[in-house]
Structure 1
Amino acid sequence: MVEPAPGNAPATRFPCDSCGADMRYAPGTGEMVCDFCGNRTPIDGTTPEARARAVTEMDYDRVLSGLERAEMEETIVMPCPNCGAQVTFGTDVHAMECPFCATPLVAGTGTHRHIKPRALLPFELNERQARAAMTDWLGRLWFAPNGLRAYARKGRKMSGIYVPYWTYDADTQSSYTGQRGTIYYVTETAYRDGKPVQVQRQRINWQPVSGRVARWFDDVLVLGSTSLPKKFTDALAPWDLTALEPYAPEYLAGFVSEGYTIGPEDGFAEARQVMDATIRRDVRFDIGGDRQQIASVRTRVSDVTFKHVLLPVWLAAYKYNGKTYRFVVNARTGAVQGERPYSAIKIAIAVILGLILAGIAGYFLALQEGVVQ
Structure 2
Amino acid sequence: KSVPAVLLIGTIVLAQSSPRAMFERARMLDDSNRNLTEAIKLYTQVVNDAKSDRGLAAWAQFRIGVLWVRTHKLADAARAYKSVIAQFPGQPELVTRAKARLAELAARTKAAAKISISTERAPDDRRWLATLKLPAGYSFSRAAIDTAGRRLYSFAIRIRPLRGDLESKRAVRRGLRDVYEPSTLVVVDLDTSSIIRTVPFQLFLGDVVLNPITGLLYASAVADGCVKVIDTRTLLEKASIRLEGFPSGVEVNPITNRVYATCQGFSGNDKLFVIDAETNTVSAKVDLEGIGSKVVVNTATNRVYVTVAEPPKIRVFDGETNEATEDLPELRVFVADSLNNRIYAAVARSHVPTDELRASTGSLTLR
TM-score when scaled to structure 2? 0.21
The structure with the greater share of residues assigned to helix is: 2
Find the structure with the greater CA-based Rg. Answer: 1
TM-score when scaled to structure 1? 0.21
